[in-house]
């Protein structure tokens, strides 16, 4: 893994070195803070729910899930839960975040907890500008006064995107005083957009790590810049060699992260797209050590020896818990209802175009997923590649028929159809290649699989601009109907379990 470092000062010229992936899968906008002897992180969920997955680690390299910040929506917001920033002060954990206000625009808000795993109490919005307010970060100035830093989302309507600061009350319930602009996107590589600011103070300077240009999707142009100031409110000076992190052969669009100190050394946890899996695999969490230079700037070291990451090649869910594991997410716009009993997931149907669905992030370009649909299922039930509510591809068991159903931009099309004998438990398998092509198979005995679509289906249309493809389960039909699933298995890296596959005859 490599990450291109472009430092154009007369003192430092660097080449591209190895870089370390520490949060595989879709983990945008990672934030990190040290609490006690552990590091706690959180990432963006956008329109997936539950919101803001929490992770903890002792080494910044290997992370374990620890639930979510919100399992119920904040009462003031309806969607677009972005850019969480986790902080700790005086025994309290504060989680700053962005959400879309009902009947309004994007706002920055804050929640509080007594411990990092929660529960969190939402304190509500702090700033809701007409153009939208996002990417909140708290910072004390040189006199110890607490400020909130955020971005005005003018770029969403073709306006400038200034970075603002305003004093915030110590109880984090409101901003006070006038806001002051720190800086904005005003150099060519930033393309008029700066965001995702996080700040660390060292010696005489405040250093702002910020992201610039287009954050997301296949045409992203993101990079990371550094700015500095001797006073939090400025004036701010941008490093002339920016961007300090930009695209290279293995990672592209690096940015939006948080600096953190470990054992006297400094690290930056941030996201980037793999050039292998791209937008389909999402923005993944990277770690990069940095140091402060003698001339008063920041230099990234681009090491690859931060520790060994434990790879997850196979993820199995036998539905043995009473609740879904933290790997599962669903649409923020759906009222998903489920029960788990006797190692069986009961997923209630929804009559929408996509149906009720739950999905998991993938961490490889080639992967397979398998699940068994139980014969007592009453809804249209199946295995799906998921983009969002209007873009999904599903192999659906519907009574004595299996259909491959494509929903693209809200339009439905049946791509393949096969008759089967009922009643029977039906195993469904999806085999994905290069994150863009999928072949579905089905089996009545779990051993011999029949191909549903001889020509691989194209799933390159699925990822929304700010999210990644999910693999998961779907239940469609009237509200009183339900799907019953057993034994979900996701195998990454194109591993094969060796079943016999029978090619369908035309």
Q: How far is CA 190 from CA 129, 157, 257, 405, 446, in A?
A: 22, 17, 17, 41, 53
Residue where the block lists tokens 């009350």: 169
3-state SS, one letter per residue, for 435-451: CCEEEEEEECCCCEEEE
Query: Residue 190 — φ and ψ, nearest 5°?
Result: -75, -15
d(CA 479, CA 337): 10
Catalytic residue set: 29, 195
Give Cβ neighbours of residue 16 (< 8 Å, ≥ 6 apart): 2, 3, 4, 5, 248, 249, 302
- 3-state class of 204 per DSSP? coil
**Per-residue DSSP letters for 216-247?**
SSTT---EEEEEEESSTTS--EE-TT--SBB-
Buried b (16+ CB within 10 A) or exposed e, 344-372: bbbbbbbeeebbbbbbbbbbbbbbbbbbb
Q: Which two tokens stand for residue 20?
A: 């370390």
Q: Are 46 and 55 in contact (CB under 8 A)?
A: no
- 3-state class of 201 per DSSP? strand
Residue where the block lists tokens 């863009």: 436
d(CA 114, CA 92): 5
Q: Are 458 and 437 in contact (CB under 8 A)?
A: yes
Characterise 480 by phi-psi region: left (phi > 0), alpha (psi -120 to 50), beta (else).
alpha
d(CA 458, CA 477): 25
d(CA 418, CA 148): 58
Is the preceding peptide bond at 50 cis, omega within 30 degrees of 0?
Answer: yes
d(CA 385, CA 396): 12
């Amino acid at each position: 893994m490599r990450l291109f470092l472009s430092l154009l000062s007369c003192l430092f010229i660097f080449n591209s070195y190895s870089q370390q992936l520490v949060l595989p899968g879709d983990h945008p906008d990672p934030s990190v803070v040290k609490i006690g002897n552990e590091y706690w992180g959180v990432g963006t969920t956008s329109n997936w729910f539950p919101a803001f997955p929490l992770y903890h680690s002792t080494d910044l390299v290997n992370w374990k899930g620890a639930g979510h910040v919100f399992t119920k929506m904040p009462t003031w917001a309806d969607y677009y839960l972005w850019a969480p920033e986790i902080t700790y002060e005086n025994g309290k954990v504060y989680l700053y975040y962005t959400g879309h206000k009902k009947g309004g625009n994007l706002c920055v808000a804050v929640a509080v907890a007594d411990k990092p795993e929660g529960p969190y109490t939402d304190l509500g919005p702090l700033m809701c500008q007409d153009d939208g307010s996002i990417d909140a970060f708290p910072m004390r100035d040189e006199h110890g006064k607490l400020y909130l830093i955020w971005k005005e989302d003018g770029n969403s309507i073709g306006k400038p995107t200034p970075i603002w600061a305003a004093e915030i009350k110590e109880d984090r319930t409101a901003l006070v005083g006038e806001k002051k602009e720190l800086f904005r996107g005003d150099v060519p590589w930033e393309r008029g957009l700066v965001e995702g600011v996080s700040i660390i103070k060292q010696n005489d300077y405040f250093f702002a790590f910020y992201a610039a240009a287009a954050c997301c999707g296949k045409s992203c142009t993101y990079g990371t810049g550094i700015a500095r100031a001797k006073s939090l409110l400025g004036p701010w000076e941008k490093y002339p060699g920016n961007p300090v992190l930009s695209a290279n052969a293995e990672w592209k669009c690096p940015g939006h992260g948080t600096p953190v100190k470990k054992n006297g050394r400094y690290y930056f946890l941030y996201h980037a797209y793999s050039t292998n899996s791209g937008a389909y695999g999402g923005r993944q969490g990277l770690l990069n050590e940095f140091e402060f230079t003698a001339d008063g700037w920041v230099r990234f070291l681009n090491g690859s020896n931060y520790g060994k990451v434990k790879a997850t090649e196979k993820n199995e869910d036998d539905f043995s818990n009473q609740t879904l594991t933290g790997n599962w997410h669903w649409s923020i716009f759906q009222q998903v209802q489920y029960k788990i009993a006797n190692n069986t997931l009961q997923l209630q149907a929804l009559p929408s175009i996509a149906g009720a669905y739950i999905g998991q992030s993938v961490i490889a370009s080639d992967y397979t997923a398998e699940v068994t649909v139980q014969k007592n299922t009453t809804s249209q039930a199946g295995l799906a590649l998921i983009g969002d509510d209007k873009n999904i591809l599903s192999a659906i068991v519907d009574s004595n028929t299996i259909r491959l159903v494509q929903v693209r931009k809200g339009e439905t099309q049946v791509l393949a159809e096969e008759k089967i004998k009922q009643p029977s438990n039906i195993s469904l398998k999806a085999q994905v290649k290069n994150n863009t092509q999928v072949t579905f198979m089905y089996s009545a005995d779990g051993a011999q699989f029949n191909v549903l679509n001889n020509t691989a289906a194209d799933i390159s249309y699925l990822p929304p601009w700010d999210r990644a493809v999910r693999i998961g389960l779907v239940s469609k039909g009237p509200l009183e109907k339900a799907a019953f699933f057993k034994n979900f298995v996701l195998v990454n890296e194109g591993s094969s379990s060796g079943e016999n596959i029978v090619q369908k005859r035309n």
